[in-house]
A = this chain, B = another copy of it.
Amino acid sequence: MEGLDAASIVPLYKQLKNLILKDIKEGRYKPNQKIPTEKDFSELYQISRMTVRKALEQLVEEEVLAKKQGKGTFVQEPKIVEDLDNANSFTNLCKRNGKVPGGRTLRFMLAEPSDRDVKELKLEPGEQVIHVQRLRTADNVPVMLENLYFPGHLKNILTENLNDTSLYQILQDKYGLRDEDFIMEIEMSECNNYEASLLEIKSGSPLILVRELIYDQYDHPLHRTKSLLRGDKIKYISSRLNKTKS
Contact = CB atoms under 8 A, between A and B. Distances in A.
Nearest to A81: B185
Given A206-B231, A219-B242, A115 B62 contact: yes
B67 A241 contact: no
Interface residues of A, number: 52
A67 B70 CA distance: 26
A154 interface: no
A232 to B, nearest CB: 7
Contacts of A231: 187-188, 206
Contacts of A180: 240, 243-246
A186 interface: yes
Interface string A194-236: 0000000001101010000001000100000010000110111
A235 B187 contact: yes
Contacts of A57: 114
Interface in A75-118: 79, 84, 114-116
A181 B237 contact: no
A179 interface: yes
5 contacts: A17-B115, A58-B116, A61-B114, A62-B116, A181-B242
Given A69-B204, A187-B234, 4 more contacts: A67-B192, A69-B191, A182-B239, A182-B241
Closest 8 interchain pairs by CB?
A188-B231, A187-B235, A206-B206, A69-B204, A183-B239, A186-B236, A184-B238, A180-B240
